[in-house]
Amino acid sequence: MTTNNLTENILNIKNIHKENRLSLSACDDFLNMLPSLTRKHSVSENASFLEFMGRPDRNMKIIHVAGTNGKGSVCNFISSILVQAGFHAGMFTSPHLVKITERFQLDGKDISDDIFITSFLKILDEIESYQKTEEGENNFFPSYFEYLFFMAMDIYKDSNIDYLILETGLGGLLDVTNTIEKPLVCIITEIGFDHMQYLGNTYEEIASHKAGIIKENVPVIFWDKRQETTKVITDTATKMNAKIRCITEANISNVELLEEGDGNKHIDFCFDSEYYNYVGLCLRSAANYQTQNAALAISCIEELSNPGGMSISPDDIKKGLFNALWPCRMEEIRPGFIVDGAHNTDGIEAFLKSAGEIESKGRKILLFGAVSDKQYIKMASMIEDSKIFDKIAVTCLRTGRSLDLESLKDAFSSFDNVSFYDSVDRATDYIDSIKQDNDLIFAAGSLYLAGQLREKSE
Other C-beta atoms within 10 Å of 254: how many? 11
SS3 of 65, please? strand
Output DSSP code: residue 434: H
What does the pLDDT read at residue 2?
47
Distances (CA, A) of 232 to 174, 223, 228: 17, 13, 7
250 alpha carbon, distance to own chain's centre: 25
Q: What gap in Å lies between CA 286 and CA 329, rounded to an integer?
A: 8
What does the DSSP assignment read for 290-310? HHHHHHHHHHHHHHHTSTTS-
Residue 225 is predicted with a pLDDT of 84
**Euclidean distance between CA atoms 368 and 351, whole angstroms:** 12
Angle between helices 43-52 and 144-157 (to 10 degrees): 30
Name the 3-class secondary structure at 440. Answer: strand
Residue count of the chain, please give it.
Answer: 458
C-alpha 299/C-alpha 206 separation (Å) is 23
**pLDDT for residue 262:** 61
Q: In sequence order, what DSSP letters do the residues of 116-173 get, joined into one string? A: HHHHHHHHHHHHHHHHTSSTTTT-----HHHHHHHHHHHHHHTTT-SEEEEE-SSSST
Q: Strand 331-334 to strand 337-339: parallel, antiparallel, or no bridges (unpaired)?
A: antiparallel
What is the Cα–Cα distance from 349 to 79, expressed in whole angstroms? 27
Q: Which residues contact 96 (CB under 8 A, 6 or more apart)?
A: 102, 103, 451
Domains delineated in the chain:
3-323 (3.40.1190.10), 331-457 (3.90.190.20)
Sites in the chain below the pLDDT cut of 70:
1-4, 194-198, 261-263, 307-309, 458
Cα–Cα distances (Å) from 222 to 116, 117, 340, 353, 411, in that order, read 32, 36, 23, 22, 34
pTM surpassing 0.75? yes
* pLDDT given for residue 33 in this prediction: 94
Alpha-carbon distances of 178 from 53, 148, 169, 209, 214, rounded to whole Å: 16, 14, 10, 11, 9
DSSP 68: S
Query: Could you read off the pLDDT of 357-366 as tens digits, one per residue?
Result: 998 889 999 9
Supply the pLDDT for residue 308. 67
Query: Residue 376: which H helix or E strand, with range?
Result: helix 376-386
Beta bridge partners of 337: 334, 441
**124-132 long-range contacts, Cβ below 8 Å, gap at least 24?**
124/10, 124/13, 124/14, 126/49, 126/52, 126/53, 126/150, 126/154, 127/49, 128/10, 129/52, 130/49, 130/52
What pLDDT was estimated at residue 306? Answer: 77
- Measured in degrees and rounded to the nearest 5, phi and psi for residue 89 equal -125, 135
Q: Which residue type is seen at 268?
A: D
The pLDDT assigned to 401 comes to 85
